[in-house]
Chains A and B, each alone.
Chain A
């Protein structure tokens, strides 16, 4: 008999479900405080340098939004799939395809385009992501192959494809054989929304995705079907909901949004196609989706928070001379506390062996 047991509580309170992310953030800050203290830094100054300094200027806030944009775009799409038990783990690959197809359109019309190139690139980005996500959807429905594995493996195929293109057809002919494309023409670049920052049109797309995701999940009949399929597949079959259609819909939707995020990176802050379009936004967005409780508004907040951990980590490296791993430490603590809080609102801990009936 074990000495520590978890005993289910009757019902988890709804308020606690939404409060746990806040609690997790508070615990992360408290642990960060102790961690900096142990490392010999003034903890108040260090936390200030990590969490406040980077976003105390307009430019810093802009960078926060720039980093949050792909996370939110992808997170909203993934969360809708997760609600239906469709586990698209390959958003990174779909993002890459969005960059390849949408960016490819920008390169194809290099030098003789016009205002119409950008909308075409956006559509191309969405289509590229959708096409890449359609493969796991088809494999799942045709061969019952797990989309977790197929979508993840296709990510590596996508990265290799990008690598091939960037060393071949996409390479800048005047680029001294560096594996990079040309810089996009101004008409093929997403316009900036706020002067003095790098915030671009993609952030508006992200906000639209949040609003659209919310309407879809809480107001439409499709959203209701998605929730029923995720909670109780047998009830969905009984009600006559078409599960295949929902698999297609959720994978195409999340793939399309990931593709849009990829296009947003190359036609936005990067301005060209490079071998590393994303520092892993597609994977981090999975954390964002769960941290945001699979709810679009929660995902918006979670996306901003994860973006802060990225830029705070960079700032801490510069200001305090801390190693790069500090970003990972804070992201890890955040996840750890979130999961721990989740367990503790559903279960209570009991010490000592189970008492036998006397």
Chain B
């Protein structure tokens, strides 16, 4: 073979968990200097494979070869000694420590003084275009800057294989662009990058090769630059994909949800306060709220659902009626339906059956409870109706919610809310972590609902999704909401700039805006 010795060569890796085969004889060769994508739906076995490479988990059988030599990676220390670095999707940083202190905690070499470390941090960050001040406190950093801390922490140990797990899910498009430059520079210097993502366009733009996992097996290895996003998605799901149909120009009616100068205060450290948020959603239209996670989405969702009550009852109106003081139950009875971002553990109770989960929110608008007694027969037929109409793959209404895949559970929850014929539906991250087939079905269902005259509000980090779904888009940044723009009059780039804080002339926020932009 003419190809060079792989940096890391996995042969026949198999890992079994109780009740599932996470990796089934996976072969994967990562060459020096390549950016290699690992693709697959949730549950395809990507994270298990990565954990095996990083020594967090151990394969039941199969071998790992590092630069031609068979190795056993017993734990993450061993992985780092070999030269494997990993940037996790969720950062492990201490908010109250500085950048340098955080990095000092995370590196193997404990002999360097903080001062020397700061010098090295500056050197590395300049070399790779990762602007970073070692003396700043982490709570003061944007999400993109926090990710740089994690990357610099890896780079200080001169990795020869860098694993990036869903690195762009929290970044604005501009930050994504800068990250890609850094990764290309690293690859050019010979570092191998294993890039895990489900964003197909990014993979096509960045990666040299892609390995596709499905059901724990490698189903394809390809050059993503020669594929389309659609063909990659079809490799992942194993069937062909239907594209949602965009409704004709929305015919909008009376306002169903109005938010007027909503501000919240919090005593939770590092939580975001909403500042003077105003919006309006009319019958028949879909409004999208874009923004990087942690900019007030959770607070806005809670204020709209009624899980947090608002002192000023006129700050939230449903069909013109002030509801700020009403809890979720009363708001549901007025016609609000709600799909939270966390579907297992908020939108559904993992241990309860689908019939019982149908009752969870269905009680408010369906005749499932009569004089305090639950009508279990009706709850069951309601669950069966959802399963049937929304093609939920499950072995019946008795199945526990946790036994469903993410996509099927989300179809069930969205179906449960839609079948209540809401006047207003609020959805958080409708397709986050959902496979492509289910995502298309969910998008179609939301569009059909709006066409039928319901007002829909979608809060999402996924810009592609918002552009597919929404009539208008606003951006939430540091607790402030930008005015909405019709989605056909704006671009991903413009929305991306707003996500980074460029609201134009928002006055008193200048310091923050200047820093991030």
Question: Interface on A for B, CB 8 Å cutoff?
Answer: 7-11, 219-222, 224, 227-228, 231-232, 234-235, 237-242, 354-358
Are A237 and B74 interface neighbours, CB within 8 A? no
A238-B307, A240-B332 are contacts. A356–B346 as well, Cβ < 8 Å? no
A7: chain B residues at CB < 8 Å are 18
Are B52 and A238 interface neighbours, CB within 8 A? no
Which of the segments B55-63, B203-211, B233-241 contacts the partner chain?
B55-63
Interface residues of B in 344-383 (CB under 8 A from A): 345-352, 356, 359-361, 363-364, 369, 372-374
Are A228 and B360 interface neighbours, CB within 8 A? yes
Are A231 and B349 interface neighbours, CB within 8 A? yes
A358: chain B residues at CB < 8 Å are 61, 63, 72
Are A227 and B352 interface neighbours, CB within 8 A? yes
Are A220 and B373 interface neighbours, CB within 8 A? yes
User: CB-nearest residue of chain A relative to B369?
Assistant: A221
A8: chain B residues at CB < 8 Å are 18
Not counting A219-B373, A235-B346, A356-B58, a sample of 8 additional A-B residue pairs whose C-beta atoms are within 8 angstroms of each other reads A221-B372, A221-B374, A222-B372, A231-B352, A237-B328, A239-B329, A357-B59, A357-B64
Are B72 and A239 interface neighbours, CB within 8 A? no
In the bound complex, how far is the Cα of B60 from the Cα of A355, in angstroms?
A: 8
A10: chain B residues at CB < 8 Å are 18-19
A354: chain B residues at CB < 8 Å are 58
Number of A-B contacts (CB under 8 A): 86
Interface residues of B in 1-24 (CB under 8 A from A): 18-19
Partner of B338, one of A9, A232, A238: A238
State whether the Cβ of B216 lies closer than 8 Å to any Cβ in chain A: no
Are A232 and B346 interface neighbours, CB within 8 A? yes
B342: chain A residues at CB < 8 Å are 234
Are A355 and B58 interface neighbours, CB within 8 A? yes
Instruction: Sort chain B's interface into a size bin.
Output: 35 or more
Partner of A240, one of B59, B329, B349, B372: B329
Are A235 and B347 interface neighbours, CB within 8 A? yes
User: CB-nearest residue of chain A relative to B338?
Assistant: A238
User: CB-nearest residue of chain A relative to B71?
Assistant: A357
Tell me the smallest distance from the CB of A240 to a CB of chain B, in Å: 3
A234: chain B residues at CB < 8 Å are 342, 345-346
A221-B369, A240-B364 are contacts. A232–B345 as well, Cβ < 8 Å? yes
Interface residues of B in 431-451 (CB under 8 A from A): none
User: CB-nearest residue of chain A relative to B356?
Assistant: A224
Tell me the smallest distance from the CB of B383 to a CB of chain A, in Å: 14
In the bound complex, how far is the Cα of B59 from the Cα of A354, in angstroms?
A: 11
Are B346 and A224 interface neighbours, CB within 8 A? no
In the bound complex, how far is the Cα of B72 from the Cα of A355, in angstroms?
A: 10
A356-B72, A357-B58 are contacts. A238–B361 as well, Cβ < 8 Å? yes
Are B360 and A357 interface neighbours, CB within 8 A? no
Are B58 and A235 interface neighbours, CB within 8 A? no
State whether the Cβ of B453 lies closer than 8 Å to any Cβ in chain A: no
A220: chain B residues at CB < 8 Å are 372-374
Tell me the smallest distance from the CB of B309 to a CB of chain A, in Å: 12
Are B351 and A231 interface neighbours, CB within 8 A? yes
State whether the Cβ of B194 lies closer than 8 Å to any Cβ in chain A: no
In the bound complex, how far is the Cα of B61 from the Cα of A221, in angstroms?
A: 50
Tell me the smallest distance from the CB of A235 to a CB of chain B, in Å: 5
Tell me the smallest distance from the CB of B131 to a CB of chain A, in Å: 38
B58: chain A residues at CB < 8 Å are 354-357
Partner of A357, one of B19, B72, B369: B72
State whether the Cβ of B422 lies closer than 8 Å to any Cβ in chain A: no
Are A235 and B349 interface neighbours, CB within 8 A? yes
Question: Interface on B for A, CB 8 Å cutoff?
Answer: 18-19, 52, 58-59, 61-64, 72-74, 305-307, 327-332, 338, 340, 342, 345-352, 356, 359-361, 363-364, 369, 372-374
B331: chain A residues at CB < 8 Å are 240
Are B372 and A357 interface neighbours, CB within 8 A? no
Tell me the smallest distance from the CB of A217 to a CB of chain B, in Å: 11
User: CB-nearest residue of chain B relative to A237?
Assistant: B307
Are A357 and B52 interface neighbours, CB within 8 A? yes
Closest 9 pairs between A and B when the two form their complex, measured CB to CB: A240-B328, A240-B329, A10-B19, A10-B18, A357-B59, A234-B346, A232-B349, A357-B58, A221-B369
In the bound complex, how far is the Cα of B357 from the Cα of A228, in angstroms?
A: 10
In the bound complex, how far is the Cα of B350 from the Cα of A11, in angstroms?
A: 13
User: CB-nearest residue of chain B relative to A348?
Assistant: B18
User: CB-nearest residue of chain A relative to B368?
Assistant: A221
Tell me the smallest distance from the CB of B60 to a CB of chain A, in Å: 8
A228: chain B residues at CB < 8 Å are 349, 352, 360
In the bound complex, how far is the Cα of B373 from the Cα of A241, in angstroms?
A: 15
User: CB-nearest residue of chain A relative to B329?
Assistant: A240
In the bound complex, how far is the Cα of B63 from the Cα of A177, in angstroms?
A: 85
Are A240 and B327 interface neighbours, CB within 8 A? yes
User: CB-nearest residue of chain B relative to A9?
Assistant: B18
B19: chain A residues at CB < 8 Å are 10-11
B350: chain A residues at CB < 8 Å are 231-232
In the bound complex, how far is the Cα of B352 from the Cα of A9, in angstroms?
A: 19
In the bound complex, how far is the Cα of B348 from the Cα of A238, in angstroms?
A: 9
User: CB-nearest residue of chain B relative to A221?
Assistant: B369
In the bound complex, how far is the Cα of B56 from the Cα of A357, in angstroms?
A: 11
In the bound complex, how far is the Cα of B342 from the Cα of A237, in angstroms?
A: 13
B359: chain A residues at CB < 8 Å are 224
Are A219 and B374 interface neighbours, CB within 8 A? yes
In the bound complex, how far is the Cα of B305 from the Cα of A355, in angstroms?
A: 49
User: CB-nearest residue of chain A relative to B362?
Assistant: A239
A selection of 8 A-B contacts at a CB cut-off of 8 Å is A219-B374, A232-B350, A237-B307, A240-B331, A240-B332, A356-B72, A357-B63, A357-B73
A231: chain B residues at CB < 8 Å are 349-352
Are B345 and A221 interface neighbours, CB within 8 A? no
In the bound complex, how far is the Cα of B340 from the Cα of A231, in angstroms?
A: 18
B332: chain A residues at CB < 8 Å are 240
A241: chain B residues at CB < 8 Å are 329
Are A238 and B328 interface neighbours, CB within 8 A? yes
A219: chain B residues at CB < 8 Å are 373-374
User: CB-nearest residue of chain B relative to A238?
Assistant: B346
A10-B18, A356-B72, A357-B62 are contacts. A238–B305 as well, Cβ < 8 Å? yes
Are B348 and A235 interface neighbours, CB within 8 A? yes
Tell me the smallest distance from the CB of A126 to a CB of chain B, in Å: 21
Are B307 and A221 interface neighbours, CB within 8 A? no
In the bound complex, how far is the Cα of B63 from the Cα of A202, in angstroms?
A: 69
Are B327 and A242 interface neighbours, CB within 8 A? yes
Tell me the smallest distance from the CB of B328 to a CB of chain A, in Å: 3
In the bound complex, how far is the Cα of B345 from the Cα of A232, in angstroms?
A: 6
In the bound complex, how far is the Cα of B373 from the Cα of A238, in angstroms?
A: 21
**Interface-centre pick from A227, A242, A358 (highest chain B CB count, 10 A):** A358
Tell me the smallest distance from the CB of A293 to a CB of chain B, in Å: 14
In the bound complex, how far is the Cα of B373 from the Cα of A179, in angstroms?
A: 49
Are A238 and B347 interface neighbours, CB within 8 A? yes
B59: chain A residues at CB < 8 Å are 357
In the bound complex, how far is the Cα of B349 from the Cα of A356, in angstroms?
A: 36
Are B363 and A221 interface neighbours, CB within 8 A? yes
B64: chain A residues at CB < 8 Å are 357
In the bound complex, how far is the Cα of B368 from the Cα of A220, in angstroms?
A: 11
Tell me the smallest distance from the CB of B375 to a CB of chain A, in Å: 10
B349: chain A residues at CB < 8 Å are 228, 231-232, 235
B345: chain A residues at CB < 8 Å are 232, 234-235
In the bound complex, how far is the Cα of B342 from the Cα of A227, in angstroms?
A: 19
User: CB-nearest residue of chain A relative to B78?
Assistant: A356
**Interface-centre pick from B306, B329, B360 (highest chain A CB count, 10 A):** B360
Tell me the smallest distance from the CB of A138 to a CB of chain B, in Å: 21
